[in-house]
C-alpha cells in the first residue's frame, strides 16, 4: 500500500513502510470496526431491522457526506492509477473517522436508552464502515473482507470482492457542512498544538480561548459550533475578536537598513516616535497605507517596508496563526481548573484499570483510592461526574487500594471491584 511500486517505482521492502500502513490504515480501521461491533452487540443493533438512512445529528450528516466525497475521490484516483493519492486521502479519512466522528459520538453509543439518536449513530457508522471497506478492498483485500463478513447482512454477497464498487452519491453531499467541519477541525488542531507546546494535556481545563478572524463567515461558523470547540479543547469560554490586541503586544521599530541614508541624523528622533506607535498604525501599514512622521520642520513618509512590526504574546497566553485565523490560549491554571483536571485524570486511570481487569463496558463497579487531601478534595467535588463516566456506584477512600496512579505529579493508590447487580 505504501510501496514505491504504487508510484511505478522499484519494489523495495521497507519495514518503516509496513509500520506506516499499520499505523495509518490497519489499526484505525480495526479500532473503528471493533468499537462498532462491541457496542452493537451490547445493544443488539441489527442492520436489517434497525438501520435508518435519515439523519438529524450534524455529525451523522457530515460523516455521510464526507464518505461520499471519499468514494468519489478514491474512484477518480484509482481510475488514473494514482494509488498514492488515494491512500493519502484514505489515511486522512480514517483519522477523521476515528479521532473526530467516533470520539465526538462516543457518548451516544454509551447511553443506556436505545432511542432514535442512538440508532442513527449506529447507522451512520455502519454505513461509513461498509463503504470504506468496499472502496479499499482492492488495496487491502484481506482485512476488508474479514470486516465485511462480520458486518454484512444475510442478503448481501458473501464477500466484499463480490460487491459492486460504490459510486459517489452527490445527493448525499453537504458541501456547506463539510466546509464548516473542516474549519472546526482545523481550529481544534491548532488548539491542541498550543496545549502540546506548553505541555498542558487535554484533561486539564483552561479558562479562555481567543479566536481572531476578520472573516465574518468564519466567525459565524465558529460561533455556531462553539460547543464542539469548548468540548474538544476543554475550554470554558471562547472570545471572538477581529484584531489581535487582546492576545499580543506590538513593538515597532525602524528598519535601519532601509532608512539609514534617508533619515541620517534624524534617525534617533524618528525611532523614538515609531516606538510609540500602536495598533491603529499597525493596521494602516498592514493594509498597504503609509504613515507620515514629522521631526521639527521635516516630514517623512513610511510604508510597511520601512517599519519592523514585532508581536509578542501577552503574559499567560500562547498563540498560533493559520491562514485567516489566529488563536490565543489562556494557560493560567486556577485551583478550580486544576481540581477538574485531577478528576479527569482520575477517570482515565479508572477506565484503564477497568480494561486491565477485563470488565465489560456495561459492568458497574466500586472505586477505592488513597490520596493526599488536595486530590481527595478534587475527587469529592467531582464524584458525580466520576461515577457517571466510570459506571461506579461508590467511591471509597481506603488504605487497601494497591494500584499506583500518577495524578497531578503525585502517586496515589487506586483499585476497583465489579458489583454484581
Mean pLDDT, rounded, for 27-37: 96
DSSP type of residue 22:
I
- The CA-to-CA distance between both ends of the chain, in Å, stands at 49
Domain chopping of the chain, boundaries: 4-173, 176-245+315-333, 248-313, 336-419
pLDDT at 243 > cutoff 70: yes
Mean pLDDT, rounded, for 34-54: 94
pTM for this predicted structure: 0.78
pLDDT at 305 > cutoff 60: yes
- Nearest to 215, CA basis, from 324, 307, 330, 315: 324
pLDDT-derived band at 295, boundaries 50, 70, 90: confident
Superfamily of domain 4-173 in CATH is Isoleucyl-tRNA Synthetase; Domain 1 (1.10.730.10)
pLDDT-derived band at 14, boundaries 50, 70, 90: low
Mean pLDDT, rounded, for 149-174: 96
- Nearest to 125, CA basis, from 79, 64, 72: 64
How is residue 53 written as a grid cell?
A: 438512512
pLDDT at 231 > cutoff 70: yes
364-370 and 392-397 beta bridge pairing: parallel
pLDDT-derived band at 286, boundaries 50, 70, 90: confident
CB 209 within 8 A of CB 247: no
The CA–CA distances, whole Å, from 283 to 52, 97, 146, 304, 307 equal 52, 41, 59, 10, 13
Fold held by 248-313:
3.30.720
Q: What is the model's pLDDT at position 251? A: 87
Amino acid at each position: 500500500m505504501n510501496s514505491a511500486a504504487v508510484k511505478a517505482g522499484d519494489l523495495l521492502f521497507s519495514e518503516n513502510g509496513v509500520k506506516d500502513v499499520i499505523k495509518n490504515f490497519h489499526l484505525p480501521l480495526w479500532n473503528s470496526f471493533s468499537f462498532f461491533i462491541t457496542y452493537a452487540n451490547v445493544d443488539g443493533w441489527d442492520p436489517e431491522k434497525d438501520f435508518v438512512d435519515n439523519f438529524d445529528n450534524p455529525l451523522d450528516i457530515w460523516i455521510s457526506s464526507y464518505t461520499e466525497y471519499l468514494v468519489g475521490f478514491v474512484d477518480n484516483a484509482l481510475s488514473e492509477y494514482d494509488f498514492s493519492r488515494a491512500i493519502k486521502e484514505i489515511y486522512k479519512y480514517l483519522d477523521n473517522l476515528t479521532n473526530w466522528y467516533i470520539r465526538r459520538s462516543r457518548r451516544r453509543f454509551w447511553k443506556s436508552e436505545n432511542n432514535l439518536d442512538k440508532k442513527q449513530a449506529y447507522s451512520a457508522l455502519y454505513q461509513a464502515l461498509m463503504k470504506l471497506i468496499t472502496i479499499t478492498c482492492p488495496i487491502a483485500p484481506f482485512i476488508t473482507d474479514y470486516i465485511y463478513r462480520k458486518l454484512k447482512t444475510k442478503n448481501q454477497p458473501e464477500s466484499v470482492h463480490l460487491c459492486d464498487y460504490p459510486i459517489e452519491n452527490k445527493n448525499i453531499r453537504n458541501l456547506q457542512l463539510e466546509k464548516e467541519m473542516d474549519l472546526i477541525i482545523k481550529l481544534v488542531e491548532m488548539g491542541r498544538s498550543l496545549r502540546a507546546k506548553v505541555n498542558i494535556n487535554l484533561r486539564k481545563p483552561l479558562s479562555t480561548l481567543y479566536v481572531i478572524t476578520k472573516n465574518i463567515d468564519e466567525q459565524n461558523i465558529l460561533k455556531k459550533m462553539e460547543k464542539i470547540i469548548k468540548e474538544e479543547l476543554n475550554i470554558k469560554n471562547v472570545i471572538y475578536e477581529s484584531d489581535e490586541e487582546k492576545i499580543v503586544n506590538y513593538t515597532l521599530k525602524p528598519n535601519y537598513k532601509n532608512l539609514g541614508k534617508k533619515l541620517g541624523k534624524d534617525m534617533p528622533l524618528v525611532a523614538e516616535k515609531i516606538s510609540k506607535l500602536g495598533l491603529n498604525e499597525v493596521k494602516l501599514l498592514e493594509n498597504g497605507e503609509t504613515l507620515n512622521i514629522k521631526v521639527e520642520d521635516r516630514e517623512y513618509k513610511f510604508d510597511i517596508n520601512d517599519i519592523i512590526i514585532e508581536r509578542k504574546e501577552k503574559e499567560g497566553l500562547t498563540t498560533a496563526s493559520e491562514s485567516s485565523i489566529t488563536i490565543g490560549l489562556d494557560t493560567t491554571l486556577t485551583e478550580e481548573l486544576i481540581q477538574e483536571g485531577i478528576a479527569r485524570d482520575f477517570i482515565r486511570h479508572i477506565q484503564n484499570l477497568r480494561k486491565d481487569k477485563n470488565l465489560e463496558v456495561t459492568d458497574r463497579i466500586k472505586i477505592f483510592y488513597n490520596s493526599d487531601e488536595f486530590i481527595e478534595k478534587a475527587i469529592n467535588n467531582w464524584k458525580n461526574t466520576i461515577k457517571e463516566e466510570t459506571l461506579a456506584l461508590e467511591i471509597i477512600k481506603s488504605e487497601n487500594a494497591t494500584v499506583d496512579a500518577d495524578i497531578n505529579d503525585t502517586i496515589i493508590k487506586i483499585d476497583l471491584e465489579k458489583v454484581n447487580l
